[in-house]
Amino acid sequence: EEDGRISTEIRSEKYTAENADRFLDFNFINGKSSYWKGFDEINVTAGIQGKIGAHFALGAFDKYVKAFETGVMFDAFYRNIPIMVATDEVSNKPFFIKLYINAHLGIRSNN
């Protein structure tokens, strides 16, 4: 506070253990950072992916393709992947399970 005026500083701030109290307090959040903020910190982590599913085609010889696929996907990494800030309720894990549905619509061509 200077001369009876309150000064405010708006900046992008990365989460650390030292700033956790302020970082997780919604009263201190004023918008978002640039889309490109943090791209220079991206790194590659080795892992493995598996997928099991079932494909259902309706009218296999019709002019129009109508089919869908549904299943489960599994990704596993050798270390935890830091996607969210870890708290007592949320922890980062080295694996992810996803359910999926794919729809296939189109026209068949014999060319």
pLDDT, one tens digit per residue, over 77-91 is 999 998 888 888 888
pLDDT of the residue at 70: 97
pLDDT of the residue at 83: 86
Q: Which contiguous run of DSSP H or E holds residue 20?
A: helix 20-23
- In this predicted structure, the answer to whether residue 1 has a pLDDT above a threshold of 60 is no
* pTM score, whole prediction: 0.62
pLDDT of the residue at 73: 97
Average pLDDT of the chain, as a whole number: 87
pLDDT, one tens digit per residue, over 23-57 is 888 888 888 888 999 899 899 999 999 999 999 98
Quickly tell me which residue has 């700033």 as its tokens.
19
- In this predicted structure, the answer to whether residue 58 has a pLDDT above a threshold of 60 is yes
pLDDT of the residue at 80: 92
